[in-house]
């Protein structure tokens, strides 16, 4: 007797379901299990060398979010969603940060630090030698990769998101106390559940055709 296995891949259906939610239902909250799943999806994200030169601040406090909304064009997603996730990249990656990362690899994989000498040289001769502005840009790009993981994981759980760049990063840094932590806000994402009143959920998704988007050589 053979068992039928459902092999239907719903991943692209999940992505088609998601959209940049403009109006959240402030009465619906994400449960702790789903929140942890989303945060783990960020933790598991790919990054250059695996360095993860960013942190994610989970903002639930209403008063703090009101302050952040005031420097983000008063966009209501920031206060109406269950949580606001702030992706903040390191403004500068130094040798101590790299050493801590390599120590973690050695401990996790039961290796000696000497075994990682080649990797250490490669990182320190590339990333650490970037000009300050280039290093900041590089770190921000890594944060955006993590954002992509969040969007996909949230769609899989039928949780709504809205990636946003419409805010004053310097003011965000000030309100969240990021400057003293060698961090700066790269991008933000409210997460929660769409309001029935958000008409954007009913619009067809507009994307380039595959032929316009993808070249096969």
**pLDDT recorded at residue 145:** 98
Give 108-136 pLDDT, tens digit per residue.
999 999 999 999 999 999 999 999 999 99
Give the start-to-end residue ranges of the domains of the chain. Answer: 19-92+136-199
Q: What's the pLDDT score for residue 8? A: 63
Per-residue three-class SS string for the chain = CCCCCCCCCCHHHHHHHCCECCCECCCCCCCHHHHHHHHHHHHCCCCHHHCCCEEEEEECCHHHHHHHHHCCCCCCHHHHCCEEEEEEEECCCCHHHHHHHHHHHHHHCCCCHHHHHHHHHHHHHHHHHCCHHHHHHHHHHHHHHHHHHHHHHHHHCCCEECCECCCCHHHHHHHHCCHHHCEEEEEEEEEECECCCCHHHHCCCCCCCHHHHCCCC
What's residue 9's pLDDT?
A: 84
Q: Average pLDDT in the 145-173 region?
A: 98
Binning pLDDT at 50, 70 and 90, where does residue 50 land?
Answer: very high
pLDDT at position 185 is: 98
Q: Which CATH architecture has domain 19-92+136-199?
A: 3-Layer(aba) Sandwich (3.40)
């Amino acid at each position: 007797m053979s068992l039928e296995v459902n092999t239907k891949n719903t991943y692209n259906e999940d992505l088609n379901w998601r959209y940049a939610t403009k109006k959240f239902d402030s009465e619906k909250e994400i449960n702790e299990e789903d929140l942890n799943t989303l945060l783990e999806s960020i933790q598991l994200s790919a990054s250059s060398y695996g360095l993860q030169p960013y942190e994610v601040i989970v903002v639930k406090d209403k008063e703090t979010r009101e302050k952040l909304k005031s420097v983000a064009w008063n966009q209501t997603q920031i206060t109406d969603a269950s949580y606001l996730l702030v992706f903040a990249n390191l403004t500068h990656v130094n040798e101590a940060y790299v050493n801590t990362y390599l120590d973690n690899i050695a401990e996790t994989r039961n290796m000696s630090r000497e075994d990682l000498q080649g990797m250490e040289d490669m990182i320190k001769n590339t990333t650490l030698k970037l000009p300050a502005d280039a290093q900041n840009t590089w770190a921000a790009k890594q944060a955006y990769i993590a954002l992509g993981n969040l969007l996909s994981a949230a769609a899989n759980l039928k949780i709504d998101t809205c990636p946003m760049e419409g805010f004053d990063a310097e003011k965000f840094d000030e309100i969240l106390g990021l400057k003293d932590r060698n961090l700066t806000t790269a991008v933000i994402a409210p997460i929660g559940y769409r309001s029935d009143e958000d008409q954007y959920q009913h619009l067809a998704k507009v994307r380039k055709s595959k032929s316009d988007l993808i070249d096969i050589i």
